[in-house]
Amino acid sequence: MLLEVRDLHVEFTTRDGVAKAVNGVDLHVDEGETLAVLGESGSGKSVTAQAVMGILDIPPARITGGEVLFQGRDQLLLKEDERRKVRGAGMAMIFQDALSSLNPVLSVGDQLGEMFRVHQGLSRKDARAKAVELMERVRIPAAKERVGQYPHQFSGGMRQRIMIAMALALEPALIIADEPTTALDVTVQAQVMDLLADLQREYHMGLVLITHDLGVVADVADRIAVMYAGRIVESAPVHDIYKAPAHPYTKGLLESIPRLDRKGQDLYAIKGLPPNLMNIPPGCAFHPRCPMAQDVCRTDVPDLFEVSEERRSACFYWRETLHG
């Protein structure tokens, strides 16, 4: 197993109180596997990713419990200096907005080359050559001519390719992509996702794909983990989940996708709002919005029940959800 997160808890201390952003996340990724982490804004996807990478701002954030095992070592126990060596070389991250994730005053060649200069101590010239090679690998045309250009001179899709190239530079075993295509238009989205999937296959990397876009997930993911209020509420192989969700929240998400065969009908929407993280409802956090909620949901927190060997659901009524 490449990455295993066990019972991770993250809190943010704010002026108004403590926001519990992540409340016991369990997930795992194997080599060469793509795990999609799905959830609404504020469900704790990005915070989980940042905690795994070790780039949370502490304070205000605080990791209050859990383990992050990467290649067998608990990252949370490592010293900052050791973690830094893992970042970039062992695991790397792709951010949502490539324009703001690239330094505007450095050329892309400098920024790509920096990876090799910092981690491998290459000379400026060798690093530049490596940068060109990387840009070619992420299919940027005329890489040799463009290596000296600045981020603002590239289009959105090209910038995201450069971000991908930076993440790939040291051939990490794991890549965490935090909504890598959200800022792009649909056709470019598909190109970038294809590229990411190809490269993942080529390097046999683990990929954690954080997204709220169910369309993106269906094409590339092997498994899906659905997050709600800082917990994984369902995890399953991608086909099972699309065929028959085992959690009412997943079901609601899938039903709220516009479909051509239901043209003219009202679009389904999950009623209510995501919970306030300062004040998460007792019991199952989803119960105020759940059409199947019973008394037990209001008082007891459901465990992550084993639906099948590959599948988990945090719902007392997963059987009913699955079959009805």
Partner 1 sequence: MPETERPEALRGSGGRPPEDGRIAATGAGGAMDLAASEATTLERAPGAPGGPGLTGGGPSGKPRSLWSDAWHDLRRNPVFVISGLVIAFLVLIALWPSLIASGNPLSCDLAKAQEGSQPGHPFGFDGQGCDVYTRTVYGARTSVTVGVCATLGVALLGSVLGGLAGFFGGAWDAILSRVTDIFFAIPVVLGGLVLLSVVTSSTVWPVVGFMVLLGWPQISRIARGAVITAKQHDYVQAARALGASSTRILLRHITPNAIAPVIVVATIALGTFIALEATLSYLGVGLKPPTVSWGIDISAASPYIRNAPHMLLWPAGALAITVLAFIMLGDAVRDALDPKLR
Interacting residue ranges for partner 1, rule: CB under 8 A? 53, 55, 84-89, 92-93, 95, 97, 99-107, 114-115, 118-119, 146, 148-155, 163, 166-167, 169
Nearer to partner 1, 157 or 252 (CB): 157
CB of 188 to partner 1, least distance (A): 15
Min separation Cβ 105 and partner 1, Å: 4
Q: What is the largest CA-CA distance in the chain?
A: 67
Residue 72 CB, shortest distance to partner 1, in Å, is: 20
- The residue among 96, 58, 52 whose CA lies nearest residue 75 is 52
What residue ranges in the chain does DSSP mark as E strands?
3-14, 17-29, 34-38, 61-70, 73-74, 91-94, 174-178, 206-211, 223-228, 231-237, 305-308, 311-313
CB of 81 to partner 1, least distance (A): 8
Do 43 and 274 form a contact (C-beta atoms < 8 A)? Answer: yes
Nearer to partner 1, 40 or 97 (CB): 97
Nearer to partner 1, 102 or 217 (CB): 102
**Closer Cβ to partner 1, 85 or 144, answer by number:** 85
Q: Crossing angle for the helix pair 124-137 and 108-120, nearest 10 degrees?
A: 120
Find where tokens 């590339």 sit: 220
Q: Considering the complex, what minimum distance in angstroms separates the CB of residue 53 from partner 1?
A: 5
Is 236:224 a contact under the CB 8 Å cutoff? yes
The Cα-based distances of 71 to 1, 74, 77, 135, 237 in angstroms read 7, 9, 14, 28, 22
- State the nearest-atom distance from the C-beta of 114 to partner 1, in Å: 7
Of the pair 57, 295, the CB lying nearest partner 1 is at: 57
Of the pair 82, 310, the CB lying nearest partner 1 is at: 82
Q: Which residues contact 39 (CB under 8 A, 6 or more apart)?
A: 45, 212, 226, 227, 228
DSSP 8-class letter at 184: S
